[in-house]
Amino acid sequence: MLEPHQVQRALVITAHPDDVDFGAAGTVANLTDRGVEVTYCLVTDGDAGGHDQTVPRPQMATMRREEQTRAAKEVGVEQLIFLGFGDGRVQYDLALRAALARVIRQIRPQLVITQSPHVDLTRIYGSHPDHVATGQAAIAAVYPDSRNPFAYPELLAEGLEAWTVPEMWVMTFAGGPGVAVHIEDVTDNVERKIRALLCHETQHKDPSGIDAMVRTWMLGVGQRFDLGDGRCAEAFQVVDTA
């Protein structure tokens, strides 16, 4: 497992605007507080999101990009990459793998954080098909695509040399025998995570409930992993890809 001083750059890959803020914004705030340069890569613009059917979809895409950019600033992130794949239409295929391998070679991170590639029927909202496809493609882009100089020769032609990412963190509440789990104590950055989530105004019918819901989630993770009373946490499965 990577030591904190070994991470200078981290890349977060998610399907939609707001995914990172629900799953990992507290951790991102911790990373940027430690001086880590964090980049967000959004596979879609979230154009199929929101509740107002009168908003044209291109306008929704623009609004959601702006919301995610504001949310990123709340946790110290300035660089965002939007790939522009269709919201609700993300597929685990070579096109997405190549796009993510390109981003990895551009950013050259020591750590990639992404979504779970598995369908969890106990948490179906977290298993949106776009999330699952993004998780699958991100893992494939880390291993083997971005490190293989013979994969996607067009990337080499662009001057993007192969890059090996030594570790991935997959957003999850799972644990169990033989599963390496990283628990990030985010107690000191709960407020920043909530502010980031509240930036996604188009997505909240009742924003007044966000604070309590998020605190309950994160307190539950802290309790599950025995961090102590009142401690909030985010949990990740650690994948050694060195």
Tokens of 241: 């890809």
User: Are 140 and 98 within 8 A, CB to CB?
Assistant: no
If the chain, 242 residues long, is cut into consecutive pieces of 10 residues, what is the mean pLDDT of each piece? 90 98 98 98 95 91 97 98 97 98 98 94 87 98 97 95 97 72 96 97 91 95 94 96 89
Give me the count of residues in the chain: 242
Residue-range domains of the chain with CATH: 4-240 (3.40.50.10320)
Determine which helix (DSSP H) or strand (DSSP E) holds 81, and give its type and residue range: strand 79-85
* Coil, strand or helix at 14: strand
First and final CA of the chain: distance in angstroms? 10
pTM for the full predicted model? 0.96
Give the pLDDT of residue 50.
87
Q: What's the 3-state SS for 99-140? A: HHHHHHHHHCCCEEEECCCCCCCCCHHHHCHHHHHHHHHHHH
Sequence-distant (≥ 6) Cβ neighbours of residue 99 within 8 angstroms: 83, 85
Give the pLDDT of residue 174.
59
112: β partners: 11, 168
User: Are 184 and 169 within 8 A, CB to CB?
Assistant: no
